[in-house]
Amino acid sequence: MSNANDSVRLHRVLRAPAERIYKAFVDPDALCRWLPPYGFVGKIDRIDPRVGGSYHMSFSNFGTGNSHAFESTFLELIPGERIRLADKFDDLSLAGDMTKTITLRSVSCGTEIDILHEGLPAAIPAEMCYLGWQDSLFQLAQLVEPEIPDGV
């Protein structure tokens, strides 16, 4: 069971349909575009977007070249509504069982998104995780909010 020191909760409203936001969580090119926090480059070397499937991703610090990698396993996938993931870092010093629950709900102006990230390793302060998510969610909004007509 997690406690307040090993979890973060985020809430946003995005001007985009739930289906587009959901797609950004299961499409490898989209994940590499929005998930890495500012200053990091993301790379996915494999993905299997189905319940029980997973993806393996690395975040590389663009300035230093240092990187860390993790495996995210899809525990639950309800298109346009909910995504649950179990995460494990490759680095054993960051051992722990993390889960992320992303809930999407259509609202009058787009989609409400709630994220609960639980089980952070002791080496990662909750406030640093929260800062990273803030960066990621801003980049997610930039990806999913534009209404670009076909053919452009």
pLDDT at 2: 45
pLDDT, average across residues 80-91: 95
The backbone region for 96, taken as left when phi is positive above 0, alpha when psi lies in -120 to 50, beta otherwise, is left
Residue 120 lies in a domain: yes
Q: What is the pTM of this model?
A: 0.91
| β-pair partners for 99 | 86, 118
- Whether the per-residue pLDDT at 90 is higher than 60: the answer is yes
Domain that holds residue 78: 4-144
| β-pair partners for 73 | 54, 86
Residue 121 lies in a domain: yes
pLDDT at 150: 83
Span 56-77, pLDDT tens digits: 999 999 999 999 999 999 999 9
- Tell me the three-class secondary structure of 21-59, residue by residue: HHHHHHCHHHHHHHCCCCCEEEEEEEECCCCCCEEEEEE
Residues 6+ apart with CB under 8 A from 26: 47, 49, 74, 77, 83
Task: Say how many domains are in the chain.
Answer: 1
Residue 109 lies in a domain: yes
CATH classification at residue 51: 3.30.530.20
